[in-house]
Amino acid sequence: MANGLVLLTVWCLSLGVVEGAHINNKHLDYGVLLDAGSSSTKLKIYTWIHPDANSSLPKVTLIPIERYRFEPGLATFEGDLPGMTSYLAEILDVAKATIPAESHALTPLYVLATAGFRLLGIDGVREGMEDVEEILLNSTMHPFRYTEGGASVLSGEEEGVFAWIAANYLLGTFHDHRPDTDSVGILEMGGGSTQIAFIPHDPLLAEEFQVTVGGRRYSLYVQSYLQFGLEAMRARVDQVLIDQQGGPVIKHPCMLTGDSRTVEISGNFTVTMNGSGNPEECWRIYVNLVASAPPEKCYLKPCAIGSVFQPPVDSTTFYATQAYQYSLTSVGAILNDSTLDLSGLLGKAEAYCAQDLSEFLPSDWKYASADCGDSLYIHALLTGPYGFLSNSTAIHVATKAGGNSIDWALGAMLNFLSMTFTGDPSHCSVTRKR
């Protein structure tokens, strides 16, 4: 893979994240970031304290003060300018009501899209982002400071790098000048894609990102798998079953007995999915979907999913974030200290999936079957291509570190602040080497 610069930089001086009780200051500044995911857009409003002396680099305090989720995903409105306009207006109205009016004009606004937009392809991305730009450059839409280019689509690898930076920033890795072996890895799970990022113990042969933080360089392995997020994988399992069974009624092993849903295949042709609650069969489907290539097709060993190279995870501690928590919480696989009970995950998932839908509260019916299949997928992914030992205790399922959210958006906002305060990308950088 050719060398190339990944266009993100991270300001990494004396940064800190604190709770709202510490933000009483007349120079409080705000930033708005729209995290446009595959199934929803999350409104994230960050705040920091700016120093009085503009000539000095500020000590930034960055916190999320509001988080709202808007469905469906922004990519749903690609090609529908009126619909996208109404959708964004609703989100921005919440931001406007949250941030003090006197700060509106100084508040930067960014839109970063992830897997949902990446799935649209080159033409869809271009047209969709052009619509977003047209809407946000219209000053009657919102009172915030939006500049051209403030909306973009992140690559999966950029998303992984941002999340890795955010987690290690929150855990103090960069502040304390700890050795590389003290850094944590990141496992991200979204609706459309999944990411893994960590510093391997062995030399990197591919997929290397050199992350410079505070003048210190870290050689980071980052890989993103498009179409391997939870929603994408559910759709792929549906297709496997349709190919195997035909239709119009499908026995679905990843759905609870008593559950049923209708899936539109093409045009007006639909099939009915009836849950059969067969976790062993469901798990085998996922194992096949994430299988590593056979040795003769694994050209750079070891391989993870397909023929993609991945170094061993060894003893690295990982934080599993985003959608990892939902199904793992439901099946009871997260221990009190947030450690994933990987050795017990499969058994707990099987017991969960063996239940009838009628055993759940009606309020839980919407996600009960999804949690069954998702937990089996996570087990297949972690113990298969990712290479975690079945008895590993190295994974913590957590959305927070030090009381603050682990979120790629935090890394992204740090990036934007780095350019705002320093204007110099050399303070910290991320370069893709190979």
Dig out the tokens for 77 from the structure: 């409105």
Query: Please, what sign has the CA dihedral across residues 305, 379, 35, 32?
Result: negative
Residue 191 counted as an annotated binding residue = yes
CA atoms within 13 A on the CB side of 338: 14
Please, what's the largest Cα pairwise distance for the chain? 69
Dig out the tokens for 198 from the structure: 């960590």
Task: Return the closest-CA partner of residue 80 out of 136, 132, 154, 151.
Answer: 132
Q: Which member of 78, 157, 158, 159 is catalytic?
A: 159
Residue 194 counted as an annotated binding residue = yes
Query: Please, what sign has the CA dihedral across residues 148, 150, 153, 156?
Result: positive
Residue 195 counted as an annotated binding residue = yes
Q: How far is CA 165 from CA 148, 194, 388, 401, 421, in A?
A: 26, 17, 22, 12, 18
- Helices 121-136 and 81-98: angle between axes, nearest 10 degrees: 50
Mark 133-161 as b/e (b = at least 16 C-beta within 10 Å).
Answer: bebbeeeebbbbebeeebbbbbbbbbbbb
Residue 214 counted as an annotated binding residue = no
Query: Locate tokens 């934080």: which residue?
Result: 319
Return d(Cα 147, Cα 109) in angstroms, integer: 8
Q: Is 280 a catalytic residue?
A: no
> Could you tell me which residues are annotated as the binding site?
191-195
> Could you tell me which residues are annotated as the binding site for ATP?
191-195
Catalytic positions:
159
